[in-house]
């Protein structure tokens, strides 16, 4: 296991900002993950676990302890009782796994195509897009318990999945390192085309779309919004959607609806669990004075998607946080709602 010193972290993130890691190691096996965790513990070094770097803002001063990049690979699949089980290493590229699943004609993750990052990060945030989320397909996972040093198995219900959350980023944040995830997919099923953008895309098709068609469509739609990492694309240096769509109680939504009605506008909303309403964060941002393309020098909003804060080349983490704060303040002043960021902030 090679421990490196003063390794730049900005190139390892999709946002492209942040200082160096004082110590850095990439672990390609569960044993190396355990060894790295023991190294940090024995030297009293703060430990940060890095995946694909896609949902991450690293502070300009970097990380003072050990950054552990999980590089465990491997995609193995097996069939049983009409289900295809894929055992996937936490370090595998997420979109590569989706391509493999679709290539085996297995449904359940096709609408999650094009999302950057690694497999190990998907259960942490219950990654979702275009009408699917990983909580629907995760059968189980293995993780290293940093408290005990032992590997532990979790069934789906153990993970506490909710909208963009799990126990791994809430009640047990920082305790576990994901090593492997098992997904239960459906061989031969049709793609899920419930999301509005997908319905529009396939509206005039004369044949039934395949899983491959759905994957291609999602990637094209993401690219049209600069949500697909494309070399040379001016708006692709981002952390994806920067803010979560607020989920409001019936009373909170009624208050928001009245505010909107007073301004002669109607706010887009979608049903959520327990009679709640999910509201479009992009709408709130744009209707608080932040149009697509708005920005301050090296930091701005994507020209194609109001939820993406982008680095135009020389941005700093401090500049991104200041810009985020400006948006949050204005949305709260305009609509009485405090937006919640999606990315993880490291070293602040």
Residues belonging to the active site: 164, 241, 342
CA 86 – CA 181 distance, rounded (Å): 8
Pairing of strands 56-58, 344-346: parallel
CA 130 – CA 108 distance, rounded (Å): 12
Q: Are 332 and 288 in contact (CB under 8 A)?
A: no
Going by C-alpha positions, the residue among 37, 28, 65, 29 that lies closest to residue 149 is: 37
| Strand locations in the chain (E) | 4-8, 20-27, 47-50, 56-58, 63-70, 75-80, 83-89, 106-107, 128-129, 132-133, 138-145, 151-155, 176-187, 247-248, 269-271, 277-279, 295-296, 299-301, 309-311, 344-346
């Amino acid at each position: 296991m090679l421990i490196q010193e003063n390794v730049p972290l900005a190139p390892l993130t999709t946002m492209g900002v942040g200082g160096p890691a004082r110590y850095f190691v990439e672990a390609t096996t569960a044993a190396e993950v355990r060894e790295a965790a023991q190294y940090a513990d024995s030297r009293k070094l703060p430990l940060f676990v890095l995946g694909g770097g896609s949902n991450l803002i690293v502070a300009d001063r970097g990380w003072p302890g050990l950054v552990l990049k999980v590089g465990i690979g491997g995609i193995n699949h097996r069939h049983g009782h009409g289900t295809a089980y894929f055992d996937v290493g936490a370090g595998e590229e997420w979109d590569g796994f989706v391509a493999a699943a679709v290539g085996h004609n297995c449904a359940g993750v096709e609408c999650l195509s094009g999302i950057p990052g690694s497999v190990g990060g998907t259960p942490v945030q219950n990654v979702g897009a275009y009408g699917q989320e990983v909580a629907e397909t995760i059968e189980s996972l293995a993780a290293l318990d940093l408290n005990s040093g032992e590997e532990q198995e979790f069934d789906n219900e153990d993970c506490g999945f909710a909208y963009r959350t799990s126990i791994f980023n809430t009640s047990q944040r920082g305790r576990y390192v994901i090593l492997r995830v098992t997904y239960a997919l459906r061989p031969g099923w049709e793609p899920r085309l419930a999301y509005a953008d997908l319905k529009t895309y396939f509206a005039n098709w004369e044949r039934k779309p395949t899983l491959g068609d759905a994957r291609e469509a999602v990637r094209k739609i993401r690219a049209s919004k600069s949500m697909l990492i494309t070399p040379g694309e001016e708006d692709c240096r981002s952390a994806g959607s920067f803010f979560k769509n607020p989920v409001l109680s019936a009373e909170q939504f009624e208050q928001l609806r009245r505010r909107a009605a007073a301004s002669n506008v109607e706010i887009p909303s979608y049903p959520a669990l327990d009679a709640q309403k999910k509201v479009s964060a992009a709408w709130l941002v744009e209707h608080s004075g932040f149009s697509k393309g708005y920005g301050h020098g090296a930091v701005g909003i994507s020209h194609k998607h109001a939820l993406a804060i982008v680095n135009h080349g020389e941005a700093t983490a401090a500049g991104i946080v200041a810009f985020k704060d400006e948006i949050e303040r204005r949305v709260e002043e305009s609509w009485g709602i405090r937006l919640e960021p999606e990315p993880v902030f490291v070293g602040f």
